[in-house]
Structure 1
Amino acid sequence: MSDTPFDLRNPSAELYDKNAEQFAGMFRKPESSQLRRFYDELVRLETQARQQPEKWEEIKPLVKMLNAQVAYAHGRQHVDEVFYNAFVELIRQIESLEHLTRCKHFLEATIGFRKLKEAQAKSRR
């Protein structure tokens, strides 16, 4: 089990609120636009799994491949070490469609909080 506060298997009531806000403030990179790329891929895979639940075992490896994609982005310095490590931990927790849906919702909430933080940072300049 995960020892991060972002536990998709046993989510707390704060997963999409305080935990997502905390996660949004943990990393410098990616900006919300880069974060959105990973989120969009999760949405695509989750939609596919919802429409064809019998194909979960074929879709699951594609979900896990997101770790290779975030590793590539990290290697190109598009995401920082903090985001990379946390994202990898999230994806490694996904063992079912329910976990994938929770991860999707968590990243959706994170994007919202990240957008707010970016707007606040711009207004301070």
Structure 2
Amino acid sequence: MGISRKKPATPAPAPAPPPAPPPPEPVIQYVERTDAELVAQGWRKATDAAAEIDRMRKQLKDAEERAETHRNAEKQLEADRKKMEAALAEAQMIKLELEQKASAEKARLAYEADRVRRSLEDERERAARLQDALLAT
């Protein structure tokens, strides 16, 4: 048995050369395409800017509404404060009036008590004189 020799394999065919690059486009078409790309890019930027402006306008509107609500709340608080101050002033006037009435009533009652006491003393003196007169008889 001898050594068999195989025929060496034939090499694979060489790969085909890459296709040739397309011919360069004319300059005018290249500029037009670049202009179109720039326009598209500008349009995207403008659209993004418009969206950002709309978002900022909404934020501004929301902030203005919150500020208006805050101003209204401040006005309401100020009105409530003024009402409370007026009610307090009225209560102080009523208190002063009641204190004056109480003082006047106290003075009247003191005068009345003094008058009753003097009258009682006078009656006691009169009763004592009458008793002395009765005992003397």
Shorter-chain TM range is under 0.3
- Which of structures 1 and 2 has the bigger CA Rg? 2
TM-score in terms of structure 2 length? 0.21
Greater helix content:
2
